[in-house]
A = this chain, B = another copy of it.
Amino acid sequence: MEIDACPPATAANPFHQIPAGLLDGFVRHDLARGCLFAAPGDVRNQVLIIESGRLRVYLAGESRELSLSFLEPGDIYTTHTPTYVEAVSATTLWLMDTRAFARKLASDPSVTPVMMRVLGRLLANAVNLIEDLAFREVPARLARFLTGMAERRGRPLDGGIWLVPLDLGTEDIASLLGSTRQTVSSLLNQWERDGILQRQGRRVLYIHSLDSLRRLGAEA
């Protein structure tokens, strides 16, 4: 699962690496934690750039939600797509109307490659998620999610053990995988019994055999 739930920590805020000219015409805006910023069906289409905080992009069905990605400082997104966007923590971002942005693109071609890269990355993420949903079963998705977390966030300890901070509840993980709390719960406990991993409290995960997880993730 290539969901970007947990990008690598960077010392500097990547927002400040954005070329100054790009922000011309954007308006600064603050969102409180928990604020729903956009929903499918909104008339206004906007381009947004995150300065600080964290946004969650997700789809909602009858009784389930599926998270597509988490936006972090420096990320650019557009509400063109019919998704919900919600502030997971207090967030500062810069906004511009899609129409106005299109005019900006026409007048300043240097913006184009940035935009292309943004769209390309969104598209690649979406395709990866489609592959997961269409071809992989829940155990494989969970295993891939965990190995991804370990690679991005984990710290290796002695004896091939990895310490992975994990500040998501069972339900949150399930929502990232397009599965349910119960299924994820029983898989995690099964693997704990198998000695593949170990949960420590609610925020920390020890992975004893990353290889086993990789094998599980490659299956099906």
Distance (Å) between the CB of A175 and the closest chain B CB?
10
Within 8 A of B (CB), among A67-82: 68, 80-82
B62–A135 touching, CB < 8 Å: yes
Listed stretches A111-119, A190-198, A202-210; interface member: A111-119
CB-CB contacts of A106-137 with B at 8 A, as 1s and 0s?
Answer: 11011011011001101110111111011110
Q: Does A201 contact B (CB under 8 A)?
A: no
Q: Does A21 contact B (CB under 8 A)?
A: no
Most buried by B among A82, A102, A113: A82
B134–A178 touching, CB < 8 Å: yes
Q: Main secondary structure on chain A at its contact with chain B?
A: helix
Q: Does A155 contact B (CB under 8 A)?
A: no
Q: What is the number of residues of chain A that contact chain B, defined by CB distance less than 8 Å? A: 37
Q: Are A124 and B81 also in contact (CB < 8 A) when A105-B112, A109-B105 are?
A: yes
Cβ-defined partner of A127 (8 Å) among B82, B112, B120:
B82
Q: Are A135 and B61 also in contact (CB < 8 A) when A106-B112, A112-B112, A116-B115 are?
A: yes
Q: Does A66 contact B (CB under 8 A)?
A: yes
